[in-house]
Structure 1
C-alpha cells in the first residue's frame, strides 16, 4: 500500500488536476520499483511506467461513477 497516495475520486478530492494524477503515478512507480530516482540506465523505463500509470489513472477517474454524484 502506498500510504502517501491520496484518493483522487470525488467526493474525497473534488477537483483533481493533471499534477495530482502524475504525482500519484510517480509515487506508485517509486514504490513498486524500489527507486526514489532511477539510475540513468533505468530512467527511460521508469518514465514510461509513470506515463502509463498516469494515463491509466486518468482513464479510470473519467470512467468511474460515484453513487449519489451528479454527472456533468
Structure 2
C-alpha cells in the first residue's frame, strides 16, 4: 500500500503528533485518489477526506488497547 506511511502506535512510535497523523492521512488520500495535489475543483473534497482520515486515525490510536510490554532497561 503506502510504504511511506509509518506505523503510529507504540512500540513503533512514541510521542505521535497531530502532524504525524495528518501526514499519514495525506499520504493515504494521495494514494487512493491518485492525486499528489488535487485540482482547484477537487481541493475541498480532498481536504475533507484528509481531515476525515486523520480523525479516524486519531480515534483508532486513542482507542487501541495495547498490552504493555516493559522495555528492557539499558
How would you bin the TM-score normalised by the shorter chain? over 0.9
Instruction: State the TM-score, normalizing by the size of structure 1.
Output: 0.93
More helix by share: 1
State the match for 2:15 in structure 1. 15
Output the CA distance in 2 between the equivalents of 1:2 and 1:23: 12
Larger radius of gyration: 2
Q: Residues 25-48 of structure 1: CA distance to partner in whole angstroms, max 9, x if unpaired? A: 000000000000000000000000
Give RMSD over aligned pairs.
1.2
Q: Which has the higher contact order (CA 8 A, sep 6+)?
A: 1
Verify: 1:2 aligned to 2:2, yes or no.
yes
Structure 1, unaligned stretches of length 5 or more? none
Instruction: State the TM-score, normalizing by the size of structure 2.
Output: 0.90
Output the CA distance in 2 between the equivalents of 1:32 and 1:10: 26
Count residues in correspondence. Answer: 70
Identify if the C-alpha distance between structure 1 residues 5 and 55 changes in structure 2 by more than 3 Å, giving closer, same or farther: same
